A = this chain, B = another copy of it.
Amino acid sequence: MINPFDDTYFMRKALQEAEAAFEKGEIPVGAVVIIDDKIIARSHNLTELLNDVTAHAEMQAITSAANFLGGKYLHNCTLYVTLEPCQMCAGALYWSQISKIVYGATDEQRGFKAMGTKLHPKTKVIGGVLEDEASALMKRFFIEKRNLN
């Protein structure tokens, strides 16, 4: 039997969050956290609205998921995020001991891989899921932003 709840399914949910960020004029990054195929946190980048560099989608998703679970560790959870996490978010994910991270587009400049940030040894990582959609949304955002300025 085919399980409809695969990485593509949940990345589409994260992309919907990224679209919501786009509509607010935020760099369009979205995230969801799941446990047992159930979404327990949804978030999108709010750094501009909140005037807060810490308001990345992943940071909010970690806080929100921990709040749902009633504990600070995200064991058995998967984070889906449309863009490769940065040093800060990867550092937070390290502390959370999250089981799995699935990201869409690679961030070759500021992504945790290029920056050398360490994840928890328990954490599995998959990149490139719906990468084209996530990249296209980012490109559209920066083109529109350039044209407005």
Quick one: which of A51, A52, A94, A117 has the most chain B CB within 10 A? Answer: A52
Q: Chain B residues with Cβ under 8 A from A96's Cβ?
A: 53
Q: Are B118 and A115 in contact (CB under 8 A)?
A: yes
A106 to B94, CA, bound (A): 19
Instruction: Kindly state whether residue A8 has any CB partner on chain B within 8 Å.
Output: no
CA distance A92 to B92 in the complex (A): 10
Provide the main secondary structure of the chain A interface: helix
**Which residues in A have some Cβ–Cβ distance to B below 8 Å?**
47-48, 51-54, 59, 62-63, 66-67, 70-73, 86-92, 94-96, 115-118
Given contacts A51-B71, A53-B62, A54-B62, 18 further A-B contacts (CB under 8 A): A48-B72, A52-B67, A53-B66, A53-B92, A53-B96, A54-B59, A54-B92, A86-B91, A87-B90, A87-B94, A87-B117, A87-B118, A88-B90, A88-B94, A91-B117, A115-B117, A116-B117, A117-B117
